[in-house]
Amino acid sequence: MAPSAAVQRRARARTTHLTAMAGCPTHRVLDRMGDRWVSLILKELAAGPRRHGELARSVAGATQKMLTQTLRVLQRDGLVARTATDSVPPSVHYRLTPLGESLLPVLATVTRWAERHIDDIDAARAAYDRTP
């Protein structure tokens, strides 16, 4: 059967909102910060420039692929700068750009809220799971 008019209308509305959302700055930024390794990498780089290998060790949860991939994205967004000396062996440093540093206070705000309220969240979960 052909889709009803209502279904079509809703599908159009969804598409409209999806494209609108793709441009929403808040959503774009949250999407980045929510990426699995971003907050860890930013936190590590906040303490100073790091070599690829150093990051690989301190952000040990990430596979090499994800580390590089995440760094590329951050670099593309202008949050992280990459400096390579093409010697042998190669030596590559990553550091926060001023833009990246300006994000740190935001991250700190989230961290502060998280640490203050994580217990509330856990309590809420426990309560929710206890009563089916």
Partner DNA sequence: CAGGATCCATTGCGATACTG
Partner DNA sequence: CAGTATCGCAATGGATCCTG
Cβ at position 106, least distance to DNA in Å: 20
Partner touching 33 among DNA, a copy of itself, none, CB below 5 to 8 Å by kind: a copy of itself
Residue 79 near residue 42, CB atoms below 8 Å: yes
**Among positions 3, 7, 8, 16, the unique one binding a copy of itself when judged by CB under 8 A:** 16
Closest C-alpha among 97, 92, 44, 33 to residue 68: 92
- Which residues inside 27-86 make contact with DNA, applying CB under 7 A? 35-36, 51-53, 56, 61-66, 68, 71-72, 82, 84
Distance in angstroms (rounded) separating the CA atoms of residues 3 and 95 = 53
Name the minimum Å distance from CB 116 to DNA.
26
The CA-based dihedral angle spanning residues 53, 85, 88, 57, taken in that order and rounded to the nearest 10 degrees: 0
Instruction: Give the C-alpha separation, 29 to 6, whole Å.
Output: 33
Residue ranges that bind DNA, judged by CB under 7 A? 3, 7, 11, 14, 35-36, 51-53, 56, 61-66, 68, 71-72, 82, 84, 88-92
